[in-house]
Amino acid sequence: MIKNTPLTAIHEELGAKMAPFAGYNMPISYTNIKEEHQAVRERVGIFDVSHMGEFIVRGPQALDLIQQVTSNDASKLAIGDAQYSCMPNAKGGIVDDLLIYRLPEDNCAAGEQAFMLVVNASNIEKDWNWIQENNHFDTRLIDISDKTGLLAIQGPLATKTLQSLTDVDLSSLKYYTFTKGTFAGIENVLISATGYTGSGGFEIYADSEHMVALWHKILEAGKPFGIAPVGLGARDTLRLEMGFCLYGNDITDETSPLEAGLGWITRLKKESFIAKDILTSQKEAGISRKLVGFKAKDRRVPRHGYVIENEAGETIGEVTSGTQSPSLDIPIGMGYVSLPYAKEGSTIYVVAGKKRIEATVSKPPFVTLNKN
């Protein structure tokens, strides 16, 4: 059965094009993807991403559990820090990528720590089961996904849009930090300087019951700055221009974080974590393929699953994501290719039916942006 977010009725009232995504009825676009994309790049946009999953990890050994199941080093997190990470599976693939928040300890007993894990909507059940299966520590996991809503306000005018709604000095929040405070008259809202667009901005977590009020108040505050509701279509073009991975496309249970260019969140010097030995061996031996970005020399857009060939017509990889870049007005994409073809500037060919599209390997991000 398809689920709704607390804002589904509002999206429908706004005339959004709706479609199933990760088990939820979600807005794909309100006007068109290009307009919404440019609104975020040039001004500010608001996204409903309440379909994402949130788990609280709390207990004396909360950090030990997180260190075991994730690849990054969460011991470096101070209260108020966020961290991008991934969960390796037993064979070195990726269960999911996620955000880790080191929470204040107001509600913790003596000696306890608390974290929030934010996971992809399509993986909520899988991630929950995986973490529970590996929870051999004195800590507990609480699924707050259904009662937590999430709005992303992204773009160079995001700070100006939101500042009138809170006493928190938003300009002082550094990238990948957060605070809790009163926002739009609602207490205990988590305000996070994170996002999936590359254009700067914030993500706002609050109880689901407050989402409708928050949506309306943010839209009203953003009117002088040209705020626009933005759907998942533009969310995809925005993240792809930055080279951000999408789970299920660019990273999966079968892809290694080292192959995916996520070595920077794979801390092999950590004492222990799932698949550490496999990933250490992989780094020592060297990877045989790599996730690369590319720009196409054609008007046809490369799509997920298209074969990538070399000049001789030999298969060297596969497209994982592709789109028409609204900022560049050319097709761009990402895909895995054999290591000899992963060097920037290499020429590759994407097979689209009977046509071969010439493309050049290009290191993301594909665009340079003005952030707030």
CATH number of 8-50+147-241: 3.30.1360.120
Q: In this structure, which amino acid lies at residue 136?
A: H
189-198 pLDDT per residue, tens: 999 999 999 9
pLDDT for residue 370 is more than 80: no
What is the rounded CA–CA span in Å between residue 106 and residue 181? 13
Assess contact for 83 and 70: CB atoms under 8 A. no
335-366 pLDDT per residue, tens: 999 999 999 999 999 999 999 999 999 999 99
13-41 pLDDT per residue, tens: 999 999 999 999 999 999 999 999 999 99
Q: What's the mean pLDDT in 139-168? A: 98
Locate all alpha helices (DSSP H) within the chain, ordered by sequence. 8-13, 33-42, 62-69, 124-133, 158-163, 211-222, 232-242, 276-285
Percent of the chain at pLDDT above 70? 99
DSSP per-residue codes, 142-199: EE-GGGEEEEEEESTTHHHHHHTTBSS-GGG--TTBEEEEEETTEEEEEEES--SSSS
CATH number of 288-365: 2.40.30.110
pLDDT for residue 316 is more than 60: yes
Residues in Cβ contact with 364 at an 8 Å cutoff, skipping those fewer than 6 apart: 241, 242, 243, 293, 334
> What's the pLDDT score for residue 372?
47
> pLDDT band at residue 1, thresholds of 50, 70 and 90?
confident
Partners of 53 in the β-ladder: 119
Q: What's the mean pLDDT in 325-337? A: 98
pTM for the model stands at 0.97
Q: What is the DSSP letter of 302?
A: P
260-313 pLDDT per residue, tens: 999 999 999 999 999 999 999 999 999 999 999 999 999 999 999 999 999 999
Q: What's the mean pLDDT in 92-103? A: 98
Q: Which two tokens stand for residue 207?
A: 């109880």
> pLDDT band at residue 328, thresholds of 50, 70 and 90?
very high
30-85 pLDDT per residue, tens: 999 999 999 999 999 999 999 999 999 999 999 999 999 999 999 999 999 999 99
CA 367 to chain centre: 18
For the chain, give the mean pLDDT: 97
Number of H helices, E strands in the chain: 8, 19
Q: What CA dihedral angle connects 350, 351, 357 and 361, to 10 degrees?
A: 10
> What's the pLDDT score for residue 76?
98
> What's the pLDDT score for residue 107?
82
What is the rounded CA–CA span in Å between residue 251 and residue 268? 19
Domain spans, the chain: 8-50+147-241, 288-365
Q: What's the mean pLDDT in 95-102? A: 98
pLDDT for residue 371 is more than 90: no
